[in-house]
């Protein structure tokens, strides 16, 4: 007769939670602080910047203190040295918290992802530093992955169940549940419960894992019949593509980076999955695949280097290109290492990748220092090329600047301001930055980098090229508020609308015909006879110049008013809208709108 399954008593659950708290006090402390910061963010209590940096630092503490606790368990049995290690972790997080306001949003995101990746990789390999227990290392990481998946499942189910209970109280019993309540519940489940539940399943006797031979045969089948064929197919495609590049000498597509990265990630994951069975006589194919994968990966990496070099040569280094280049070098190093040494030490993979993430985090050699220097040099080269710098200060252009160079200048200014702050361009625009910042603050932060770059391009006397503009032709629309303003009509015979006038077309009011010509003129005709042509080309140029210099201000209505007094007619045009396109060949109006007052003499 089968023994009935008993649910754990509350005493057992509480006792297990206490053991986990005693084992990982700093981890759960970080999870509690992250939960508090998340709830403050949901309720919008306190400064936004403080909530964000507190949440970021505390969430980084979860993997960092987990790695420290597991490492200390194996190396330092005494409490003093464990406390010292924890103090080092606290100091790192405090430093991150203090440095947070000095970084732009893009740099904050990049550095947070770097440290998060590095600390999670520390959890994967740090407890086995100094212990050559390769099978134990594999079993330990398998246990972590399985426990994490189970923790996520439990957290989602717990949240869904409690959220449904709150909804039932609200709808069935009239108990008011604010919308923020569901957000708070998710924060508690995601940070506190999920972390606590995960830690409760972390193996406590890591040395014993070396003797474990647990291996799910389904992993072998999935790897052998699904993952490996896919990796082989895509590596073959990449090798053939490299041959095509070398034969035709057509530079590789930028999309190649995603393909090589994906193939490398799946290939390395495959090697890690089948590691425990590689020594079995029936699985010699594992070693053949391992060596073949690393050899075949090298041509794919070479193709990726060609693509990266092309982008860097054209547009300089940015953080994304930097990381792609560094990761490709790391992949090449891993492949060469395993080919030459025939090593089976899989700890090298997370250990070396963690080191790469930490080394590139800061410093002049780091991703952000190198990218800033590269883009500053590139922008400076363009400014000097067109004579836009005098004694280190930017000055307005005196000649035409090609569209491609204007686009690169616009992109360079936008990138430097958005990623590295206005200080990165201060040496050239120091005198203008205060005015630019004041104007941007009036408009709001939604597109602050675009607005600053547009105004600085206006300081150079150049048209700003938006990131969405792909070709040299650019559409423009200039508006004034004449449409909503009263205009004096005394002394005029006709008030004629211009709302639908288009170049080459005409508006026939029954008495007066206005025809908009492609050479930016409005023609007034009376009974088939041309009375006058009102030239608006000068008006358009004046409006364009004003918009370049004052992108955040409305166009003065008087600037959109033009008049003429001829022998047989007097006309005043109140223009509320000008639309057209601009390209290297010049400017062309596509429509105008407004009103015209006409007096026949």
Residue with tokens 């062309």: 588
- Euclidean distance between CA atoms 393 and 391, whole angstroms: 6
Q: Exposed, middle or buried: residue 317 (CB in 10 Å: 0-12, 13-18, 19+)?
A: buried
Residue 510 has pLDDT above 60, yes or no: no
pLDDT in tens, 15-46: 888 999 999 999 999 999 999 999 999 888 87
Full 3-state SS string of 194-209? HHHHHHHCCCCCCHHH
Determine the average pLDDT of the residues in 438-457.
Answer: 70
- Euclidean distance between CA atoms 407 and 315, whole angstroms: 11
Residue 483 has pLDDT above 80, yes or no: no
Please report the pLDDT score of residue 513 as a whole number: 57
Determine the average pLDDT of the residues in 543-571.
Answer: 82
Determine the average pLDDT of the residues in 374-393.
Answer: 91
Residue 206 has pLDDT above 80, yes or no: yes
Determine the average pLDDT of the residues in 486-500.
Answer: 78
- Euclidean distance between CA atoms 578 and 593, whole angstroms: 7
What does the radius of gyration of the chain's CA atoms come to, in whole angstroms?
Answer: 34
Whole-Å CA distances, 89 to 60, 62, 63, 303: 10, 11, 11, 40
Q: Which of 60-64, 436-440, 538-542 has the lowest mean pLDDT?
A: 436-440
Please report the pLDDT score of residue 92 as a whole number: 96
Determine the average pLDDT of the residues in 232-243.
Answer: 85
Residue 381 has pLDDT above 90, yes or no: yes
147 versus 475: which is more confidently predicted? 147
Which residue in 96, 115, 104, 106 sits closest to 360, CA to CA?
115
The number of helix segments (H) and strand segments (E) in the chain equals 19, 11
Determine the average pLDDT of the residues in 253-282.
Answer: 82
- What DSSP letter does each residue of 213-230 carry, written as one string? ----HHHHHHIIIIIHHH
Confirm if 301 and 241 have CB atoms less than 8 A apart.
Answer: no
This prediction has a pTM of 0.80
- Is the sign of the CA dihedral 402, 404, 405, 411 positive or negative? positive
Q: Considering the chain, what percentage of its residues have pLDDT values greater than 90?
A: 37
368 versus 476: which is more confidently predicted? 368
Rounded to 5°, angle at Cα 117 from 116 and 122: 95
Determine the average pLDDT of the residues in 496-506.
Answer: 61
Determine the average pLDDT of the residues in 528-538.
Answer: 79
Which residue in 29, 24, 53 sits closest to 41, CA to CA?
53
SS3 503: strand
Determine the average pLDDT of the residues in 468-477.
Answer: 64
382 versus 500: which is more confidently predicted? 382
Q: What is the DSSP letter of 392?
A: T
- Euclidean distance between CA atoms 493 and 485, whole angstroms: 19
Confidence of residue 7 (pLDDT cuts 50, 70, 90): low
Q: Considering the chain, what percentage of its residues have pLDDT values greater than 70?
A: 89
Q: Which two tokens stand for residue 150?
A: 């189970």
149 versus 82: which is more confidently predicted? 149
Confidence of residue 446 (pLDDT cuts 50, 70, 90): very low
Phi, psi of 134 (to 5 degrees): -65, -40
Please report the pLDDT score of residue 516 as a whole number: 55
Domain boundaries defined on the chain: 11-211, 217-361, 368-472, 477-600
Confirm if 352 and 363 have CB atoms less than 8 A apart.
Answer: no
Residue with tokens 């070693």: 287
Q: What does DSSP say about strands 586-600 and 529-535: parallel, antiparallel, or unpaired?
A: unpaired
Residue 432 has pLDDT above 80, yes or no: no
Range with the largest mean pLDDT of 197-206, 303-312, 445-454, 486-495: 197-206
585 versus 361: which is more confidently predicted? 361
Determine the average pLDDT of the residues in 81-110.
Answer: 93
Residue 440 has pLDDT above 70, yes or no: no
Whole-Å CA distances, 376 to 105, 304, 379, 449: 19, 25, 5, 16
Please report the pLDDT score of residue 5 as a whole number: 55
- Euclidean distance between CA atoms 252 and 153, whole angstroms: 42
Residues 6+ apart with CB under 8 A from 215: 276, 277
Residue 177 has pLDDT above 50, yes or no: yes
Residue 588 has pLDDT above 60, yes or no: yes
Please report the pLDDT score of residue 471 as a whole number: 59
Confirm if 367 and 317 have CB atoms less than 8 A apart.
Answer: no
Q: Which of 158-162, 229-233, 438-442, 577-581 has the lowest mean pLDDT?
A: 438-442
Q: What is the mean pLDDT of the chain?
A: 85
Please report the pLDDT score of residue 552 as a whole number: 63
Determine the average pLDDT of the residues in 54-82.
Answer: 92
């Amino acid at each position: 007769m089968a023994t009935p399954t008993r649910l754990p008593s509350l005493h057992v659950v509480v006792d297990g939670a206490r053991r986990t708290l005693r084992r990982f006090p700093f981890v759960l402390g970080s999870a509690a602080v992250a939960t508090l910061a998340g709830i403050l963010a949901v309720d919008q209590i306190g400064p936004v910047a403080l909530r964000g940096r507190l949440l970021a630092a505390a969430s980084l503490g979860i993997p960092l203190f987990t790695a420290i606790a597991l490492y200390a368990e194996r190396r330092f049995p005494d409490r003093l040295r464990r406390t010292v290690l924890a103090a080092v972790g606290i100091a790192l997080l405090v430093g991150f918290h203090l440095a947070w306001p000095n970084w732009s949003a893009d740099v904050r995101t990049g550095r947070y992802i770097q440290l998060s990746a590095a600390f999670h990789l520390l959890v994967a390999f740090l407890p086995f530093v100094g212990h050559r227990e390769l099978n134990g290392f594999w079993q330990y990481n398998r246990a972590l992955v399985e426990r994490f998946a189970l923790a996520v499942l439990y957290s989602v189910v717990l949240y869904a169940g409690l959220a449904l209970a709150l909804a039932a109280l609200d709808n069935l019993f009239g108990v008011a549940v604010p919308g923020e309540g569901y957000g708070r519940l998710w924060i508690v489940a995601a940070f506190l419960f999920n972390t606590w539940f995960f830690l409760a399943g972390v193996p406590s006797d890591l040395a014993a894992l070396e003797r474990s031979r647990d291996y799910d045969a389904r992993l072998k089948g999935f790897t052998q019949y699904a993952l490996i064929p896919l990796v082989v197919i895509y590596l073959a495609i990449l090798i053939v593509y490299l041959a095509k590049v070398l034969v035709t000498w057509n530079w590789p597509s930028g999309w190649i980076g995603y393909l090589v990265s994906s193939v490398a990630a799946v290939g390395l994951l495959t090697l890690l999955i089948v590691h425990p069975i590689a020594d079995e006589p029936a699985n010699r194919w594992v070693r053949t695949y391992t060596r073949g994968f690393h050899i075949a990966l090298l041509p794919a990496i070479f193709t990726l280097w060609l693509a990266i070099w092309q982008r860097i040569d054209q547009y300089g280094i940015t953080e994304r290109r930097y990381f792609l280049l560094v990761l490709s070098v790391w992949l090449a190093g891993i492949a060469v290492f395993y080919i030459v040494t025939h090593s089976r030490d899989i700890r090298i993979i997370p250990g070396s990748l963690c080191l790469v993430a930490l080394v590139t985090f800061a410093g002049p050699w780091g991703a952000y220092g190198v990218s800033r220097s590269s883009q500053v040099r590139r922008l400076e080269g363009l400014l000097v090329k067109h004579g836009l710098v005098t004694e280190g200060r930017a000055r307005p252009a005196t000649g035409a600047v090609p569209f491609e160079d204007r686009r690169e200048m616009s992109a360079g200014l936008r990138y430097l301001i958005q990623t590295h702050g206005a200080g990165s361009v201060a040496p050239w625009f120091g005198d203008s930055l205060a005015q630019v910042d004041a104007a941007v603050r009036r408009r709001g932060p939604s597109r602050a980098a675009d607005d600053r770059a547009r105004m600085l391009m206006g300081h150079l006397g150049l048209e700003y090229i938006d990131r969405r503009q792909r070709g040299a032709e650019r559409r423009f629309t200039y508006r004034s508020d004449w449409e909503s303003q009263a205009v004096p009509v005394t002394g005029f015979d006709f008030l004629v609308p211009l709302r639908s006038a288009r170049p080459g077309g005409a508006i026939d009011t029954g008495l007066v015909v206005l025809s908009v010509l492609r050479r930016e003129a409005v023609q007034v005709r009376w009974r088939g006879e041309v009375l006058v042509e009102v030239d608006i080309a000068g008006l358009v140029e004046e409006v364009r110049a004003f918009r370049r210099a004052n992108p955040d201000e409305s166009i003065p209505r008087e600037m959109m008013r033009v008049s003429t007094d001829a022998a047989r007619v007097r006309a005043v045009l109140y223009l509320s809208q000008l639309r057209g396109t601009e390209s290297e060949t010049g400017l062309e109006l596509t429509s105008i709108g407004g009103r015209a007052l006409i007096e026949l003499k």
